[in-house]
Amino acid sequence: MWRMETMKGFKLALALSAIGLMQSGQSFGADKNYGPGVTDTEITIGQSVPYSGPASLFGVYGRVMAAYFNMVNDRGGINGRKIKLISLDNGFSPPKAVEQSRKLVEEMGILAETGTVGTPPNVAVQKYLNSKGVPQLFSSAGGSRFNNPKDFPWTVPFYPGFEMEGAVFAKYVLKTKPGAKIAVLYQNDDYGKDYVKGFKRGLGAGAAKAIVAEASYELSDPTVDSQVISLKASGADVFMQFTTPKFAAQAIRKAASLEWKPLEFVGSPASSINGVLKPAGFENAVGLMTSQFAKQVGDAAWKDDKEVADYAAFIKKWAPNEDPTDFVGLSGYINAEGLAMVLQRCGNDLTRKNLLTQATTIKNARVPMLLPGIDLNNSPTDYALYHKLRLARFDGKGWVLVGEAVSESD
């Protein structure tokens, strides 16, 4: 078990300036109303992250979140309270994730579980946390089941929906490559299936004809080489990869070794330059497409951007062992900013109920590093925060944005 507890401090004025926390709906009454894990000086939250196991590349997500709250605490905390983040290893294993959630809630008395990484772990703990009335706040998973206020009112997703992303990919294919013959590789769980569902929805009535081959893999599989070989044999000229990082790198590399050169897409969770494209071979990834919602360090378009400079400086000081160009780490940073915004909005009413209220009534909000045209909006009947994405193409060195922010309906 890997445990991280962050406990250093932060000045409110700087928080308001740095992450734009002035939002409508803040509650700053003099009366104090506390839930579990809250005192006059501290707020205890928890999460589980795959620091080990087949998805350990996602571990950077938790490390960057921890670093963020180290910075926040060093500057005085949020509303004068330090943030204590307990980050445990779930190994990307559903049973381990449940074990860690029980420990966080029943032994460590957290206010909320927040930023837990991965679709399988979040699926595993969803019923437990909802049965206990514990916010499963800003889960790092884009499955459709995490935006279900009726059945799971305590689960609030943060990552863009995988169905929406898949549909946006489909719209791009229809627009730029009419008559495409499409091969699909997907992880055989909610993660991969949501992407496939959204992609087919985006293709519309022609989906059955356009998709000439599909292949799935299990998270426990050693490679996806055989799947890629069979998909190439279909004659497809578009290759959709709804995979996690390890398998994305394998698929890109294998397609290149077969001299198969389709228009390739990877889902945003598998778009890390160092974690996926470097092991796949940059030369093999030229032309690869993905979606983005955040600015990227190293992208020439943002070379003079203050938010990008601030993020790079944050990584250098607070997470010096991490790569500022790693998209997974950046996603953890944005999640932490969103959480800080919601805690700020709670004021002195730091109950689980008010935390949920503040997290599900976000209007036209923005945190640093979001791309132009991307803002955060949700409601008590639709918890999804992201409704638009931007496409990007890898040019051999970095991701280059393609077009404006688009939604599934565009």
On whether the CB atoms of residues 114 and 341 are closer than 8 A, the answer is no
Structure tokens at 375: 């803002």
Q: Sorting pLDDT into bands at 50, 70 and 90, what band is 274?
A: confident
Residues 148-181 pLDDT 10s: 999 999 999 999 999 999 999 999 999 999 999 9
Q: Are residues 226 and 330 in the same domain?
A: no
Bridge-based pairing of strands 82-89 and 113-114 is unpaired
**Both 183 and 152 in a single domain?**
no
Terminal alpha carbon distance of the chain: 45
Give the orientation angle of helix 162-176 with respect to helix 190-203, to 10 degrees. 40
- Cα–Cα distance measured from residue 386 to residue 160, given in angstroms and rounded to the nearest whole number: 5
**CA 395 to each of CA 165, 272, 399: distance values in angstroms, whole numbers, following the listed order:** 21, 14, 6
The predicted structure's pLDDT at residue 272: 86
pTM of the predicted structure, to 2 decimals: 0.81
- pLDDT, position 324: 93
E strands, 165-237, are 182-187, 211-217
The reply to whether 137 and 91 lie within a common domain is yes
52 and 124 part of one domain: yes
The CATH number linked to 129 is: 3.40.50.2300
Rounded-to-integer distance, Cα 357 and Cα 355, Å: 5
Identify whether the C-beta of residue 186 lies closer than 8 Å to the C-beta of residue 168: no
150/168 same-domain check? no
Whether residues 150 and 254 share a domain: the answer is no
Q: What is the pLDDT of residues 129-154, one digit of tens each?
A: 999 999 999 999 888 899 999 999 99
**Two tokens, residue 181:** 């013959």
pLDDT at 48 over 50: yes
Statement to judge: residues 68 and 142 lie in one domain: yes
405: tokens are: 């922010």
Mean pLDDT along residues 84-91: 97
Tokens of 28: 């700053």
How many domains in the chain? 2
Host domain of residue 330: 4-160+303-379
The span from the CA of 63 to the CA of 67, in Å, is: 6
Average pLDDT over residues 106-121: 95
pLDDT, the chain, mean: 91
Same structural domain, 346 and 287: no
